[in-house]
Amino acid sequence: MSTERRRARTEDEKHFRRQQILDAAEQHFSEVGYEGFSMANLAKLVGVVKGTLYLYFKTREEVFLTLYNQSLVRWSHVFLEQLQGSMTDRDYVTTLYTTALADGSFIPLLTRLEHVIEHNVSIESLIQSKRNFIERVDCLAQATAPVLSLNQSQSVELVKTMGVLLVGATRADQSPSLHGEDIPDDVQALIDSFSSENIFIKNACRIISGIRTADGSITES
């Protein structure tokens, strides 16, 4: 007997089936990563034939783009919940880093967004994704401004720059794992200095300071 799910016909059924696909896709992604992700295996997880997936997503990358948009919204809510009325620059960027890394999908998808995922999606999906990004940046900037005593323009600049820095910093963690190895102190210190957390927090604090200084320089000139 076939285990394939019956075809979704109503709009509610289609919406439910689409979310089933996305839930299974996120699970599949967390288990095998980007390179190991297969639409054929995703179809098996959902219990549909492979062709059914393409009724909802035109390409494999459109699945990833949708997962990225979901993870961006999900992470931003978690981050905003942890913001306090007044935080040091270091506390702010540490919170941003730890919440971003805690989401298993956000950083892995963000690092592949512009140079891989966005190159094989429809223009409609790309526009929708960019508008989602704009809305999230504005929301994060509005919450950031009073916390760090920045104006809205400065906060928008900061939030955008933090995303770029996250992508660059987390690539530092792609070196071979040496956990459990007997590493000399000087070599371990060097390795630690290049950890994504260390790189991100140090440079993020410098960026905040730079944004403040630049704005002050413009005002005084």
Domains of the chain listed by start with CATH number: 1-56 (1.10.10.60), 59-220 (1.10.357.10)
183 pLDDT higher than 60: yes
86: Cβ–Cβ under 8 A, 6 or more apart, which residues?
147
pLDDT band at 150 (very low <50, low <70, confident <90, very high): very high
209 pLDDT higher than 60: yes
218 pLDDT higher than 70: no
**C-alpha pair distances (Å), 133 with each of 115, 169, 221:** 17, 20, 34
- pLDDT for the residue numbered 11: 80
pLDDT band at 13 (very low <50, low <70, confident <90, very high): confident
- pLDDT for the residue numbered 221: 29
Question: Alpha-carbon distance 95 to 88, whole Å?
Answer: 11
- pLDDT for the residue numbered 186: 67
Question: Alpha-carbon distance 49 to 42, whole Å?
Answer: 10
pLDDT band at 188 (very low <50, low <70, confident <90, very high): low
Q: Mean pLDDT over residues 154-183, rounded?
A: 81
| Residue 59: closest CA among 12, 13, 121, 139 | 121
Question: Alpha-carbon distance 183 to 198, whole Å?
Answer: 19
Sign of CA dihedral 12, 17, 18, 23: positive
Average pLDDT, whole number, for the chain? Answer: 88
Residue 115 DSSP SS3:
coil
Tell me: the pLDDT tens digits for 50-70?
Answer: 999 999 999 999 999 999 999
The amino acid at residue 128 is Q
- Percent of the chain beyond pLDDT 70? 84
Tell me: the pLDDT tens digits for 101-132?
Answer: 999 999 999 999 999 999 999 999 999 999 99
Q: What is the dihedral of CA 135, 138, 139, 143, to 10 degrees?
A: 170
Strand locations in 70-213 (E): none
Residue with tokens 């019956």: 6
Tell me: the pLDDT tens digits for 23-55?
Answer: 999 999 999 999 999 999 999 999 999 999 999
